[in-house]
């Protein structure tokens, strides 16, 4: 590898690291502003969703964009640690599945449900029908969110295994093992439910790994 090529790749890695750290921090801030619906009455829930619809769409739109930025950063990361290695390839495929599932969950929560609420807010619409459709939509949201969390945990686990052979990066591998195994076990055991507070905990756990990877990329350690 020529010195020019190596320098260009280091610059690319540092750029990806900065993107990953920044996107992770903004994701946590976005989750802190994630609206929730307190009312259990269908009519009141429709009104509450309508009131929070703009914020809901902004938050989920921002989260979707940030997931795209994180995927870009992890593509660079995968290339840096050896994209031809089976564990790295497995990790990237699992990550792509996870990101796709979480984007689907965000679309349902941020856009499908708010659109339904707007439709049923019209005069003469039956709030009970909205409640049934909203329940179906949120079942889909939870299924996609669970798939997303498990798939991303598999991705982090695979990448961590790929890093274990490198003594200099073993600390990062250990961070990844914790960040992947703990959220997945908590979800499977029913300790964590993927409501707003539960998803925030998952985001924070994954954020520790993201920031660790981002710092390693920025410092040229990968």
DSSP string, 110-177: IIIHHHHHHHHTSTT--HHHHHHHHHHHHHHHHHHHHHHHHHHHHHHHHHHHHHTT-GGGHHHHHHHH
pLDDT computed for residue 61 by the predictor: 96
In total, the chain counts a number of residues equal to 222
44 vs 89, more confident: 89
Least trusted range by pLDDT, from 41-50, 53-62, 101-110, 159-168:
41-50
Please name which of 19, 12, 7, 21 lies closest in space to residue 215, comparing C-alpha atoms. Answer: 21
Domain range annotation of the chain: 3-218
pLDDT computed for residue 166 by the predictor: 84
pLDDT digits (tens, 9 = 90+) for 184-204: 888 888 877 777 778 778 888
**How many Å from the N-terminal Cα to the C-terminal Cα in the chain?**
16
Tell me which long-range contacts 24-29 makes (C-beta under 8 A, separation of at least 24).
24/70, 24/207, 24/210, 24/211, 24/214, 25/207, 26/62, 26/66, 27/63, 27/66, 27/70, 27/203, 27/207, 28/200, 28/203, 28/204, 28/207
Q: If pLDDT is split at 50, 70 and 90, which confidence band does 87 have?
A: very high
- The residue-averaged pLDDT of 158-162 equals 95
CA distances from 205 to 4, 47, 108, 150, 209 (A): 37, 34, 23, 13, 7
Q: Half-sphere exposure (CA, 13 Å, Cβ side) for 91?
A: 27
CA dihedral 123, 124, 128, 130 (to 10 degrees): -50
The alpha-helical segments, DSSP class H, found in 33-112 are 42-51, 53-82, 86-107
Where does residue 126 fall: left (phi above 0), alpha (psi -120 to 50 degrees), or beta otherwise?
beta
119 vs 6, more confident: 119
């Amino acid at each position: 590898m020529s010195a020019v090529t190596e320098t260009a790749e280091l610059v690319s890695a540092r750029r990806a690291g900065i993107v990953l750290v920044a996107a992770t921090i903004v994701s946590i801030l976005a989750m802190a502003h994630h609206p929730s619906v307190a009312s259990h009455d269908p009519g009141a829930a429709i009104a509450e969703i309508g009131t929070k619809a703009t914020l809901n769409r902004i938050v989920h739109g921002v989260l979707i964009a940030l997931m795209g930025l994180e995927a870009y950063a992890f593509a660079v990361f995968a290339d840096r640690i050896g994209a031809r290695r089976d564990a790295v390839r497995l990790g990237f495929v699992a990550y792509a599945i996870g990101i796709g599932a979480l984007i689907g969950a965000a679309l349902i929560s941020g856009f499908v449900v708010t659109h339904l609420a707007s439709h049923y807010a019209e005069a003469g619409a039956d709030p009970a029908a909205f409640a049934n459709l909203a329940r179906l939509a949120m079942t889909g949201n939870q299924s996609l969110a669970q798939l997303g969390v498990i798939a991303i945990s598999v991705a982090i686990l695979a990448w961590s295994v790929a890093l274990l052979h490198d003594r200099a990066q073993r600390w990062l591998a250990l961070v990844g093992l914790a960040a992947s195994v703990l959220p997945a076990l908590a979800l499977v055991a029913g300790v964590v439910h993927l409501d707003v507070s539960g998803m925030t905990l998952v985001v924070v756990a994954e954020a520790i790994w993201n920031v660790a990877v981002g710092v390693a990329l920025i410092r040229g350690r990968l």
